Chain A
Amino acid sequence: MESSTEEKVVAVILVGGPTKGTRFRPLSLNIPKPLFPIAGQPMVHHPISACKRIPNLAQVYLVGFYEEREFALYVSAISNELKVPVRYLREDKPHGSAGGLYHFRNLIMEDNPSHIFLLNCDVCCSFPLPEMLEAHRKYGGIGTLLVIKVSPESASQFGELVADPVTNELLHYTEKPETFVSDRINCGVYVFTPEIFTAIRDVSSQRNDTATLRRVSSYEALQPATRIPADFVRLDQDILSPLAGKKQLYTYETMDFWEQIKSPGMSLRCSELYLSQFRLTSPHILASGDGTKSAIVIGDVYIHPSAKVHPTAKIGPNVSISANARVGPGVRLISCIILDDVEIMENAVVTNAIVGWKSSIGRWSRVQAEGVYNSKLGVTILGDSVAVEDEVVVTSSIVLPNKTLNVSVQDEIIL
Chain B
Amino acid sequence: MKALILVGGFGTRLRPLTLSLPKPLVDFANKPMILHQIEALKAVGVDEVVLTVNYQAEVMLNFLKDVEAKLEIKITCSRETEPMGTAGPLALARDKLVDGSGEPFFVLNSDVISEYPFKEMIEFHKAHGGEASIMVTKVDEPSKYGVVVMEETTGKVEKFVEKPKLYVGNKINAGIYLLNPSVVDKIELRPTSIEKETFPKIAAAQGLYAMVLPGFWMDIGQPRDYITGLRLYLDSLRKKCPAKLTTGPDIVGNVLVDETAKIGEGCLIGPDVAIGPGCVVESGVRLSRCTVMPGARIKKHACVSSSIIGWHSTVGQWARIENMTILGEDVHVRDEIYSNGGVVLPHKEIKSNILMPGIVM
Interface residues, chain A, with chain B CB atoms under 8 Å away: 312, 314, 329-332, 334, 346-347, 349, 351, 363-364, 366, 368, 370, 391, 393, 395, 410
Asked whether B322 lies within 8 Å of A393 as measured between CB atoms, the reply is yes
Asked whether A330 lies within 8 Å of B266 as measured between CB atoms, the reply is yes
- In the bound assembly, the distance between CA atoms of A332 and B340 in angstroms comes to 19
Asked whether A330 lies within 8 Å of B301 as measured between CB atoms, the reply is yes
Least Cβ distance of A408 to chain B in Å?
8
Q: Is B338 an interface residue (CB 8 A)?
A: yes
Contacts of B355 in A (CB 8 A): 395, 410
- In the bound assembly, the distance between CA atoms of A368 and B320 in angstroms comes to 11
Q: Is B26 an interface residue (CB 8 A)?
A: no
Interface residues, chain B, with chain A CB atoms under 8 Å away: 266, 268, 283-286, 288, 300-301, 303, 305, 317-318, 320, 322, 336, 338, 340, 353, 355
A312, A331, A364, A370: the one within 8 Å of B286 (CB):
A364
- In the bound assembly, the distance between CA atoms of A273 and B91 in angstroms comes to 75
Contacts of A410 in B (CB 8 A): 340, 355
Question: Given contacts A332-B336, A334-B336, are A349 and B284 in contact (CB under 8 A)?
Answer: no
Contacts of B317 in A (CB 8 A): 332
- In the bound assembly, the distance between CA atoms of A347 and B301 in angstroms comes to 5
- In the bound assembly, the distance between CA atoms of A363 and B288 in angstroms comes to 14
Can you list 30 A-B contacts with CB-CB less than 8 angstroms, sorted by A residue number?
Answer: A314-B318, A330-B283, A330-B300, A331-B301, A332-B318, A346-B266, A346-B284, A347-B284, A347-B285, A347-B301, A347-B318, A349-B301, A349-B320, A349-B336, A351-B336, A363-B268, A363-B286, A364-B303, A366-B303, A366-B320, A368-B338, A368-B353, A391-B286, A391-B288, A391-B305, A393-B322, A393-B338, A393-B340, A395-B355, A410-B355
Asked whether A349 lies within 8 Å of B318 as measured between CB atoms, the reply is yes
- In the bound assembly, the distance between CA atoms of A410 and B338 in angstroms comes to 13
Max chain A CB contacts within 10 Å: which of B284, B301, B340?
A: B301
Contacts of B336 in A (CB 8 A): 332, 334, 349, 351
Contacts of B300 in A (CB 8 A): 330
- In the bound assembly, the distance between CA atoms of A332 and B317 in angstroms comes to 9
Least Cβ distance of A347 to chain B in Å?
4
- In the bound assembly, the distance between CA atoms of A36 and B126 in angstroms comes to 81
Least Cβ distance of A396 to chain B in Å?
8
Contacts of B338 in A (CB 8 A): 366, 368, 393, 395
Closest partner residue, chain A, to B356 (CB atom): A410
- In the bound assembly, the distance between CA atoms of A391 and B284 in angstroms comes to 13
Closest partner residue, chain B, to A393 (CB atom): B320
Contacts of B353 in A (CB 8 A): 368, 370
Asked whether B303 lies within 8 Å of A329 as measured between CB atoms, the reply is no
Q: A312-B284, A351-B336 are in contact. List 16 more A-B contacts (CB 8 A).
A: A314-B318, A330-B284, A330-B300, A331-B301, A332-B317, A332-B336, A346-B266, A347-B266, A347-B284, A349-B318, A349-B320, A368-B353, A391-B286, A391-B288, A395-B338, A410-B340
- In the bound assembly, the distance between CA atoms of A351 and B337 in angstroms comes to 11
Least Cβ distance of B263 to chain A in Å?
15
Least Cβ distance of B67 to chain A in Å?
39
Contacts of A363 in B (CB 8 A): 268, 286
- In the bound assembly, the distance between CA atoms of A347 and B353 in angstroms comes to 18
- In the bound assembly, the distance between CA atoms of A329 and B285 in angstroms comes to 12
Question: Given contacts A334-B336, A364-B286, are A329 and B320 in contact (CB under 8 A)?
Answer: no
- In the bound assembly, the distance between CA atoms of A368 and B322 in angstroms comes to 15
Contacts of A329 in B (CB 8 A): 266, 284
Contacts of B320 in A (CB 8 A): 349, 366, 393
- In the bound assembly, the distance between CA atoms of A334 and B317 in angstroms comes to 13
Contacts of A312 in B (CB 8 A): 284
Least Cβ distance of A236 to chain B in Å?
41
Least Cβ distance of B145 to chain A in Å?
32
Least Cβ distance of A374 to chain B in Å?
19
- In the bound assembly, the distance between CA atoms of A195 and B83 in angstroms comes to 95
- In the bound assembly, the distance between CA atoms of A331 and B340 in angstroms comes to 20
Contacts of A334 in B (CB 8 A): 336
- In the bound assembly, the distance between CA atoms of A334 and B353 in angstroms comes to 14
Closest partner residue, chain B, to A312 (CB atom): B284
- In the bound assembly, the distance between CA atoms of A312 and B305 in angstroms comes to 23
Closest partner residue, chain A, to B335 (CB atom): A332
Asked whether A391 lies within 8 Å of B301 as measured between CB atoms, the reply is no
Contacts of A349 in B (CB 8 A): 301, 318, 320, 336
Least Cβ distance of B49 to chain A in Å?
43
Question: Given contacts A349-B318, A364-B286, A393-B320, are A332 and B301 in contact (CB under 8 A)?
Answer: yes
- In the bound assembly, the distance between CA atoms of A349 and B338 in angstroms comes to 10
- In the bound assembly, the distance between CA atoms of A370 and B338 in angstroms comes to 11
Least Cβ distance of B355 to chain A in Å?
7
- In the bound assembly, the distance between CA atoms of A364 and B285 in angstroms comes to 8
- In the bound assembly, the distance between CA atoms of A314 and B317 in angstroms comes to 11
Contacts of A368 in B (CB 8 A): 338, 353
Least Cβ distance of B302 to chain A in Å?
8
List the 6 shortest-distance A-B pairs measured between CB atoms, nearest first. Answer: A330-B284, A332-B318, A347-B301, A364-B286, A330-B301, A364-B303
Closest partner residue, chain A, to B355 (CB atom): A395
Least Cβ distance of B351 to chain A in Å?
15
- In the bound assembly, the distance between CA atoms of A314 and B316 in angstroms comes to 14
- In the bound assembly, the distance between CA atoms of A391 and B300 in angstroms comes to 15
Closest partner residue, chain A, to B303 (CB atom): A364
Least Cβ distance of B45 to chain A in Å?
47
- In the bound assembly, the distance between CA atoms of A347 and B300 in angstroms comes to 9
Least Cβ distance of B354 to chain A in Å?
12
Contacts of B268 in A (CB 8 A): 363-364
Question: Given contacts A349-B336, A351-B336, A366-B320, are A391 and B303 in contact (CB under 8 A)?
Answer: yes
